[in-house]
Amino acid sequence: MTTSDSASARGAQDGAAGRASRQGVQANSRQYRQSSAPVVAICVDGCEYDYLEEAAASGQAPYIARLLKADWALRAACIVPAFTNPNNISIATGAPPSVHGICGNFFYDRDADAEVMMNDPKYMRAGTVFAAFADAGAKVAVVTAKDKLRRLLGKDLNGICFSAEKADEATRQTHGIDNVLELVGMPVPSVYSAELSEFVFAAGVRLLETVRPDLMYLSTTDYVQHKAAPGSPQANAFYSMMDGYLRRLDELGAVVALTADHGMNAKHDEAGQPNVVYLQTLMDECLGPGAARVILPITDPYVVHHGALGSFATIYLPSPEAARDAIAALVKVNGIELAVGRDDACAWFELPPDRIGDVVVISQKAYVLGTSPERHDLSGLDAPLRSHGGISEQTVPMLFNRPVQNIPARRRLRNFDVLDLAFNHVQA
Amino acid sequence: MTTSDSASARGAQDGAAGRASRQGVQANSRQYRQSSAPVVAICVDGCEYDYLEEAAASGQAPYIARLLKADWALRAACIVPAFTNPNNISIATGAPPSVHGICGNFFYDRDADAEVMMNDPKYMRAGTVFAAFADAGAKVAVVTAKDKLRRLLGKDLNGICFSAEKADEATRQTHGIDNVLELVGMPVPSVYSAELSEFVFAAGVRLLETVRPDLMYLSTTDYVQHKAAPGSPQANAFYSMMDGYLRRLDELGAVVALTADHGMNAKHDEAGQPNVVYLQTLMDECLGPGAARVILPITDPYVVHHGALGSFATIYLPSPEAARDAIAALVKVNGIELAVGRDDACAWFELPPDRIGDVVVISQKAYVLGTSPERHDLSGLDAPLRSHGGISEQTVPMLFNRPVQNIPARRRLRNFDVLDLAFNHVQA
């Protein structure tokens, strides 16, 4: 991130922002029109569509209820792996991982024989729409729940970019803003809390009231969604909280565009035990110990609420024959939805082949994929496992506070189209 | 089919049947144990699990309701393409299409430039478990709703094999039985009717009361399921009808094993119009007219109730580059769940590569695949489209009238395991 005083100051000049507005902005082969109103794009982490409908039906989210109608509330497909980083970076760039490179929290570097965390902007192969708008003179602000995303989303961004998790560490020099806690009027929340997401919304409202960015991106965390099913009191309370902030953003004149990084499903049996397919165990039995390397790209330093168990895995194998044997073995295992080779997986899911293993494995809706039992610490799970990552979590909401126009019926909508729709397909 | 008087007579000899019972039978690398009770395997066409649960909940299917409990009622994965013939032949052989060759109603023969109907047993690359039992001396009977299946299921079978559709044409010489209408006490039903399936059940009961086959297979038609959703009066009436026959088979001492060839889902929008992706139109736009050949393997002479619209298609393309372009185009189209190359599709779905196109396409739960609008006659659809074919119709019920034992937790159950479970995993 290259935020500086001068850059922030430039973003604040009306003339520069106006220039961006009139001319539009190009990023990753897409054109974004001017918007006379501020655009606030929101990524609600793990927002299965049912959460919105249940909260609306409960009467606790009256503003969201008003958006749930034809042409305002759409369904879109997220990126598979249906994980947070690949989808946030896709939304930020308006492009799939085959373009921007971020296909998980880490990948296996075969040449270096190392598992590489992709938490540094240097792993991104595309710039963000945010940076493009800022470079064109627009005022841009990005607020994330966790700090892991902030660095990626802030790549080359001349604007405001901070996380709720480390809101107290934001300085004008490094984050384009200081005194965030004072601005928001909330203390730094726990990284495992609903308040971490509320902080993001509260900051968004305060920024719109004060700085009034031309483009703002708010990205929450799925702490609540991992624990609480749609319609549960805890979930409805979360969406009720969100509802008030969304209404306020609307009242402040913003184009509000809400989508999700991925859906969320229960991944446990009737007794509450997680339904796990342990792939490393299986591969070791099938091919010999250590012949295969199973990568779970959901794994990151924050695994308490899902135990690093998701519905997407990729396997590095020693030979094409081993890959065939692996798929033949997986066909016979309960809980697997699909296992296909790298080339087909990368073509269909739009992933970067150099960061994907020889075989991609996706589990069924009620199942997750693990490596081996001893490598998953499930002691932090205080509720039956809910998680994501697969095709069953691919459909996500995409809501706007005005009607979406001129979308060809045949077009497959993606969550990373949210900025395209907000700038090009709604009336500001 | 090579039924003859002498073969039928042989099947009727207790000694021969006893020999089969004691020794067990082998077919397609699987061993089937003896059963002291007659085994009746039933394939209920298009039996989405919900049909059973809704009918049970309505009180109209009290016998089925008694089976819906742990260890008696399982869920299994059918073959994708989730169509009738590939699944019936898989059940009959205990093996997937990669073994038996029947991956749809027809395939495209590239060398001959011809679309070939696979309605002749010569296209089957494996023998049936039925024929193996009959050859070992067991009395075997197969009753289908439509005649299209009878010829395939009757391959090399020394036993009884007839269809409800042409029950009046059965002779002892050609079908191992005559006077079927008299035996069953029903007239030949319309090929598009619930009665066509009822005839199958009624025949099964009468056969068990008279011939008492050691192994009987009953296969119905999904006329009702294509029209009526789970829980609808028409659907509940069908399962109520079925319920009485199942109870009677149970009372007659049979091991009753029920599964389905595929599930069934609504494939229309809120206005009742079918959600169709026309693939030939799309490929013509993308690659030039006629460059691609789209095959819909659901197509057969009986298309009134689904208009040849299902959720599985395969596309023959002129080059690997065209296949890549096709997948890249399909990624952008609403309603597609997956598009992958032949090798990966055949490895995962266990299909015969020489009868599958360069790309396999599967549509989402609410969508079907067509060629071009003018090639689908939807005038016969008198109810909003319900159909099948894809991953969304892969989960089917597998019910037994006694508990299933000794199945490893990790084993993925398939509908074509139904005979294995009936002979090897329940107490007769």
What CATH number does the domain containing B70 carry? 3.40.720.10
Q: Would you tell me how many other CB atoms lie within 10 Å of the CB of residue B302?
A: 17
Q: How many domains does chain B have?
A: 2
A182 and A296 assigned to the same domain = no
* Cα–Cα distances in angstroms (integers) from residue A120 to residues A45, A115, A123, A154, B109, in the given order: 21, 14, 6, 10, 51
The parent domain of residue B130 ranges over 5-264+391-424
Query: Tens digit of pLDDT for each residue in B47-79?
Result: 999 999 999 999 999 999 999 999 999 999 999
B234 and B348 assigned to the same domain = no
At A35 the three-state DSSP class reads coil
Name which residue leads in pLDDT, B123 or B306.
Answer: B123
Asked if B348 and A331 touch (Cβ cutoff 8 Å), the reply is yes
pLDDT of residue A15: 35
Query: Which two three-digit tokens encode residue A2?
Result: 């290259």
Phi, psi of A229, rounded to the nearest 5 degrees:
-75, 160
Average pLDDT over residues B161-169: 97
Q: How far is A196 from chain B (nearest CA, A)?
A: 34
Average pLDDT over residues B211-220: 98
Domain presence at residue A167 = yes
At A147 the three-state DSSP class reads helix
Largest interatomic CA distance in chain A: 65
How confident is residue B377, by pLDDT bands cut at 50, 70 and 90? Answer: confident
Using a CB–CB cut-off of 8 Å, the residues of A that contact B are 277, 324, 327-328, 331-341, 343-345, 347-348, 350, 391, 409-413
pLDDT of residue A380: 80
Average pLDDT over residues B209-231: 97
In B, minimum Cα distance to A409 occurs at B334
Pick from B294, B290, B259: nearest CA to B82: B259
Contacts of residue B350 in chain A, CB cutoff 8 Å?
331
pLDDT of residue B14: 35
A295 and A170 assigned to the same domain = no
Query: Tens digit of pLDDT for each residue in A171-211?
Result: 999 999 999 999 999 999 999 899 999 999 999 999 999 99
Domain presence at residue B270 = no
A143 and A221 assigned to the same domain = yes
Nearest to B347 among A327, A410, A413 (CB): A327
B52 and B174 assigned to the same domain = yes
B147 and B239 assigned to the same domain = yes
B245 and B329 assigned to the same domain = no
The interface pTM score, or ipTM, of the predicted complex is 0.91
Query: Tens digit of pLDDT for each residue in A377-419?
Result: 888 888 999 999 999 999 999 999 999 999 998 999 999 999 9
B331 and B420 assigned to the same domain = no
Torsion of CA A334, A338, A341, A342, to 10 degrees: -120
Rounded distance, CA B10 to CA B3, Å?
11
* CATH code of residue A379: 3.30.1360.110
Rounded distance, CA B210 to CA B177, Å?
12
B318 and B374 assigned to the same domain = yes
B56 and B131 assigned to the same domain = yes
Note whether B327 contacts A347, CB cutoff 8 Å. Answer: yes
Domain presence at residue B372 = yes
B296 and B412 assigned to the same domain = no
pLDDT at A225 over 50: yes
Asked if B239 and B404 touch (Cβ cutoff 8 Å), the reply is no
pLDDT of residue B15: 35
Contacts of residue A332 in chain B, CB cutoff 8 Å?
411-412
Query: Tens digit of pLDDT for each residue in B184-193?
Result: 999 999 998 9
Selected for mutation to probe chain B from A337, A396, A410, A413 (highest B CB count within 10 Å) is A410
B358 and B231 assigned to the same domain = no
Query: Which two three-digit tokens encode residue B337?
Result: 């769940």
Note whether B339 contacts A348, CB cutoff 8 Å. Answer: yes
Average pLDDT over residues B316-336: 97
How confident is residue B300, by pLDDT bands cut at 50, 70 and 90? Answer: confident
Query: Tens digit of pLDDT for each residue in A145-170?
Result: 999 999 999 999 999 999 999 999 99
How confident is residue A305, by pLDDT bands cut at 50, 70 and 90? Answer: low
DSSP code, position B189: P
Name which residue leads in pLDDT, A415 or B21.
Answer: A415
Domain presence at residue A269 = no
Average pLDDT over residues B313-336: 97
Domain presence at residue A271 = no
Domain presence at residue B405 = yes
Query: Tens digit of pLDDT for each residue in A268-286?
Result: 999 999 999 999 999 999 9
Note whether A336 contacts B411, CB cutoff 8 Å. Answer: no
Domain presence at residue B196 = yes
* Cα–Cα distances in angstroms (integers) from residue A112 to residues A108, A109, A124, in the given order: 9, 5, 19
Half-sphere exposure (Cβ direction) of B73: Cα atoms closer than 13 Å: 15
Domain presence at residue B234 = yes
Selected for mutation to probe chain A from B269, B334, B365, B414 (highest A CB count within 10 Å) is B334
Largest interatomic CA distance in chain B: 65
Query: Tens digit of pLDDT for each residue in A313-364?
Result: 999 999 999 999 999 999 999 999 999 999 999 999 999 999 999 999 999 9
How confident is residue B112, by pLDDT bands cut at 50, 70 and 90? Answer: very high
pLDDT of residue B378: 85
pLDDT of residue A361: 98
Q: Which residues contact B16 (CB under 8 A, 6 or more apart)?
A: B10, B136, B137, B138
Rounded distance, CA B370 to CA B298, Å?
10
Rounded distance, CA A181 to CA A383, Å?
31
Selected for mutation to probe chain B from A334, A351, A369 (highest B CB count within 10 Å) is A334
pLDDT of residue A104: 95
Contacts of residue A347 in chain B, CB cutoff 8 Å?
324, 327-328, 331, 340-341
